[in-house]
Amino acid sequence: MKTLLLRHAALLATFDDADRTIPDGAIFVRDGVVEAVNAKDEEYGEAALLRLVDRESGSAPAELLRSLLAELDRHVGNTPQHDDITCLLLKRT
């Protein structure tokens, strides 16, 4: 998989990527996703996001989004949110 870091967003998977299979789709997230911190001030991080994409690669976009938001909720717990959590999942039909 090629990860393209943009100024304030990350492209995490491309259409039919060779290393990570998100069939006919793409995932975009803003920096608030990977920079979401917990009570220990630990960021969620790109590695955790990529692990989730690997685990959920066969899921429908809505299910992958639900999994991501649930995992972020578990990570941050009661820590106040300091940035937006913006995700865009695209699937070609």
The structural domain count of the chain equals 1
Contacts of 81 (CB under 8 A, 6+ apart): 32, 36
32-35's contacts with Cβ under 8 Å and 24+ in sequence apart are 32/81, 32/82, 32/83, 32/84, 32/85, 32/86, 33/68, 33/72, 33/85, 33/86, 33/87, 34/10, 35/83
Tell me: pLDDT of 54 over 50.
yes
**What is residue 9's predicted lDDT score, i.e. its pLDDT?**
44
Residue numbers of the domain that contains 68:
4-91
**What is residue 2's predicted lDDT score, i.e. its pLDDT?**
40
pLDDT per residue as tens digits for the range 11-53: 454 434 444 445 567 778 888 888 999 999 999 998 898 888 8
- The pLDDT-based confidence of 56 (bands split at 50, 70, 90) is confident
pTM more than 0.85: no
